[in-house]
């Protein structure tokens, strides 16, 4: 469930564009107004605003925002305003250029979006970067990470609920064998995780747990420092229980010395319209403090206001 | 028509590609029982049974069934939406196993990125599975990595690419292929990456540089008939690849699998680049493709194929 709140009577894109134009006018910027508008419009509405703004004023709203805003507030407003597919394409492209820590972002996008949405990302990537997503991911990763990430971003998983229990049993066995042999990049393990539907995977992993006594991620914890295994466990988590995965990312981002704003921004901007409500509930349950209080405690200014608006607190 | 001629005609009508429906109607339909009996006694399609009658040999009846159905299969395949068509072709190839992996490579490499994606969508609808999960499950060993990457690709289709990148990737391919030693180049992550993710214009440049470095075309440097070779052929010179498929299909000793290539190529390329393929065919083989089909194929199936072939001349892309 989303945490995005939209007013019951939404102004027209023309009115919104006008207000935004006013917010940029003169010295300084009316950040509050920007939040009031953009943080309370859904993707379709934001798209219309961008179109109308460009038609009316001959300028790109995103360029204006980039000029007027700065730092973490700018980043979250820009990411939020983008169309979900463009946003994911941007994040993925940025991740391929950064260091290995950004394998997470690529995996996250590949595993937590629906098959259809992941395809839209691939299309948006063509349009924006004149390359394919998989070619950039392949080029910028190596070895075991490439073996896992390229099939993940290229997948178009079947989205139905049908499950083949016989297959689930046999594939749980295969997973158990490869893991017992510490063959964590074994082609069978990769095959199962990167091609099976999410429903099928769930059945397989449940069976794994039932028969072999441990959840698969427990068995994959053999070396807590191994970067590849960390990514593999996160992959499985993203595929089976994304809200738990995102709760953890938020928890680590907030608890980190100095806060990991990029992670915080990314999760809030990409999930506010999707399942932020569930993530919030998970967060509260796991940390005994509501997410908005944790966010307030760790951020400030317009950045904080934007975050709170998107996770369902502050003004509507 | 003299009896011997008639028997020859009916034998011919039953043999080879497709079935000569007209002769069967006009000749066979008119025979007296004695003529038919003489035919059975002389024909290699029949065997003398111990209970003193001439019996159809089962495998010939089976073959006849296939030949009678060729027209129907071509028509059904032709009428299908290209996405359903490719999805079904891939499904059949997956079931057939090793001998049909070239069909998977063919479809993955010669369709536009959106048409390949369309086939993936259709596959979900038709089979409640994803193409990649079926291809992965049914492709063991070395070929799996390459095949999955190929069917999952969504290549950029614009003209832009980096010349330097193409040059260095040509070098990488050359090293991987020529200095392979014991290692199969299909096992090389870089080879798979380059061939399965780069755009076709980029690959065109890569293949051009490859020839400059190696002195040979890339497919000439590869072992005969591997998925890697097919991949490279489909990506660099698809028309030459399709001609090979056609020639193999019309070879008198072709097996059923190979023969299906004739229908597949004509149906799937009729509205794409069949005209160019036919021109290339003429250049390469010194005979018109239409003539070869006229020679090797019979009946309604032949007429249908020739009609598909002729479309190329009428449609302007």
pLDDT category at A287 given cuts 50, 70, 90 is very high
Question: How high is the pLDDT of residue B14?
Answer: 79
Going by pLDDT thresholds of 50, 70 and 90, the confidence category of residue A315 is very low
Task: List b or e across B29-49, with b for residues whose CB sees 16 or more CB atoms inside 10 angstroms.
Answer: eebeeebeebbbeebebbeee
Max CA-CA distance within chain A?
A: 67
Q: For B289, what's the count of Cα atoms within 13 Å in the CB-facing half-sphere?
A: 29
Give residue-wise pLDDT tens across range A10-28: 999 999 999 999 999 888 8
Q: Which of A305, A259, A302, A300 is nearest to A68 (CA)?
A: A302
B128 and A156 in contact by Cβ < 8 A? no
Tell me the nearest-neighbour CA distance from B195 into chain A, angstroms. Answer: 10
Mean per-residue pLDDT of chain B: 92
Does A60 score more than 70 pLDDT? yes
**A13-69 CATH, one of 3.30.70.2740, 3.40.190.10, 1.10.3720.10, 1.10.220.10:** 1.10.220.10
pLDDT of residue B131: 97
DSSP string, A235-266: HHHHHH-HHHHHHHHHHHHHHSTT--HHHHHH
pLDDT-derived band at A66 (thresholds 50, 70, 90) equals very high
Q: Do B153 and A156 touch (CB under 8 A)?
A: no
Q: Between chains, do A156 and B131 touch, taking CB under 8 Å as contact? A: yes
Q: How many residues does chain A have?
A: 316
- Are the CB atoms for B233 and B191 separated by under 8 Å? no
CATH tag, A85-154? 1.10.220.10
Q: What's the DSSP call for residue B234?
A: H
Fold of A242-310: Annexin V; domain 1 (1.10.220)
Cβ contact B152–A151 (<8 Å): yes
The pLDDT of residue A101: 63
Helices (H) and strands (E) in chain A, counts: 20, 0
Q: Tens of pLDDT along B75-88?
A: 999 999 999 999 99
- Closest approach of A154 to chain B, Cα-based (Å): 5
The pLDDT score that the predictor gives to residue B7 is: 84
Q: Can you tell me the distance from the alpha carbon of B84 to that of B169, in angstroms, rounded to the nearest whole number? A: 35
Q: Is A160 helix (H, G, I), strand (E, B) or coil?
A: coil
- Give yes or no for residue B185 having a pLDDT over 70: yes
Arch. (CATH architecture) of A165-240: Orthogonal Bundle (1.10)
**pLDDT range class, residue B174, cuts 50, 70, 90:** very high
Considering the entire predicted model, what is its pTM?
Answer: 0.91
Which domains are present in chain B? 2-56 (no CATH), 239-316 (1.10.220.10)
Collect all residues of chain B within an 8 Å Cβ-Cβ radius of residue A154: 132, 149, 152-154
Q: Categorize the per-residue pLDDT at A62 as very low, low, confident or very high, splitting at 50, 70 and 90.
A: very high
Q: What is the pLDDT of residue B317?
A: 47
Which distant-in-sequence residues (6+ apart) come within 8 Å of A234 by Cβ?
A104, A107, A108, A245
Q: How many C-beta atoms lie closer than 10 Å to residue A12's C-beta?
A: 12
Interface of B with A in 157-186 (CB under 8 A): 157-158, 160
Counting runs of H as helices and runs of E as strands, what totals does chain B give?
Answer: 18, 2
Contact yes or no for B279/B289 (Cβ under 8 A): no
In angstroms, the CA A246 to CA A269 distance is: 12
> What does the pLDDT look like over B22-39, one tens digit per residue?
888 988 888 899 999 999
In Å, what is the CA distance from B211 to each residue of A256, B171, B183, B201, B206? 54, 10, 22, 16, 9
Torsion (CA) B41, B47, B53, B55 in degrees, nearest 10: -110
Chain region(s) in chain A for CATH 1.10.220.10: 13-69, 85-154, 165-240, 242-310
DSSP character at residue B17: B
Contact A102, A94 (CB under 8 A): yes
CB A110 within 8 A of CB A155: yes
């Amino acid at each position: 469930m989303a945490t995005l709140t939209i007013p019951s009577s939404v102004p027209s894109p023309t009115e919104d564009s006008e207000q935004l134009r006013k917010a940029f006018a003169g010295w300084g910027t009316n950040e509050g107004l920007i939040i009031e508008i953009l943080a309370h419009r859904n993707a379709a509405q934001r798209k219309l605003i961008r179109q109308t703004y460009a038609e009316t004023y001959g300028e790109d709203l995103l360029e204006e925002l980039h000029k007027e805003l700065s730092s973490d507030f700018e980043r979250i407003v820009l990411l939020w305003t983008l169309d979900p597919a463009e946003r994911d394409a941007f994040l993925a492209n940025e991740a391929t250029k950064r260091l290995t820590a950004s394998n997470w972002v690529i995996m996250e996008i590949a595993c937590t979006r629906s098959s259809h949405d992941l395809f839209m990302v691939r299309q948006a990537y063509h349009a924006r970067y004149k390359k394919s997503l998989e070619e950039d991911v392949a080029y910028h990763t190596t070895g075991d990470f490439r073996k896992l990430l390229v099939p993940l971003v290229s997948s178009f998983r079947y989205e139905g609920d049908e499950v083949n229990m016989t297959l689930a049993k046999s594939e749980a066995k295969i997973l158990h064998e490869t893991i017992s042999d510490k063959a964590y990049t074994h082609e069978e393990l990769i095959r199962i995780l990167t091609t099976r539907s999410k429903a099928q995977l769930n059945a397989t992993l449940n069976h794994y747990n039932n028969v072999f006594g441990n959840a698969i991620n427990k068995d994959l914890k053999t070396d807590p420092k191994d970067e590849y295994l960390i990514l593999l466990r996160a992959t499985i988590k993203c595929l089976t229980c994304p809200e738990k995965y995102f709760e953890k990312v938020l928890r680590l981002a907030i608890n980190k010395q100095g806060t990991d704003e990029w992670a915080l921004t990314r999760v809030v901007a990409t999930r506010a319209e999707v399942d932020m409500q569930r993530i919030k509930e998970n967060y509260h349950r796991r940390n005994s403090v509501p997410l908005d209080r944790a966010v307030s405690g760790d951020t400030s200014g317009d950045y904080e206001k934007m975050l709170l608006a998107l996770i369902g607190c502050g003004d509507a | 028509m003299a009896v011997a001629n008639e028997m020859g005609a009916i034998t011919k009508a039953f043999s080879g590609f497709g079935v000569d429906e007209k002769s069967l109607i006009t000749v066979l339909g008119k025979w007296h029982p004695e003529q038919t009996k003489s035919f059975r006694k002389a024909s290699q399609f029949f065997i003398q049974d111990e209970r003193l009658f001439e019996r159809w040999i089962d495998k010939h009846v089976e073959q006849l069934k296939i030949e009678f159905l060729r027209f129907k299969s071509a028509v059904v395949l032709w009428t299908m939406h290209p996405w359903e068509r490719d999805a079904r072709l891939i499904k059949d190839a997956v079931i057939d196993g090793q001998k049909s992996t070239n069909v998977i490579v063919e479809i993955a490499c010669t369709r536009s990125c959106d048409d390949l994606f369309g086939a993936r969508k259709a596959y979900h609808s038709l089979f409640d599975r994803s193409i990649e999960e079926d291809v992965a499950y049914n492709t063991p060993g070395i070929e799996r990595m390459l095949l999955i990457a190929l069917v999952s690709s969504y290549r950029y289709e614009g003209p832009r690419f980096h010349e330097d990148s193409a040059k260095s990737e040509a070098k990488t391919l050359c090293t991987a292929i020529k200095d392979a030693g014991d290692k199969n180049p299909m096992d090389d992550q870089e080879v798979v990456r380059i061939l399965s993710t780069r755009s076709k214009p980029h690959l065109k440049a890569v293949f051009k540089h490859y020839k400059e470095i190696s002195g040979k075309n890339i497919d000439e440097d590869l072992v005969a008939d591997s998925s890697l070779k097919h991949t490279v052929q489909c990506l660099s010179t698809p028309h030459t690849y399709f001609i090979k498929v056609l020639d193999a299909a019309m070879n008198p000793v072709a097996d059923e699998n190979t023969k299906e290539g004739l229908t597949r190529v004509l149906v799937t390329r009729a509205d794409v680049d069949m005209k160019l393929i036919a021109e290339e065919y003429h250049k390469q083989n010194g005979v018109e493709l239409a003539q070869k089909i006229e020679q090797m194929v019979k009946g309604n199936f032949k007429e249908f194929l020739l009609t598909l072939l002729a479309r190329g001349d009428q449609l302007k892309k």
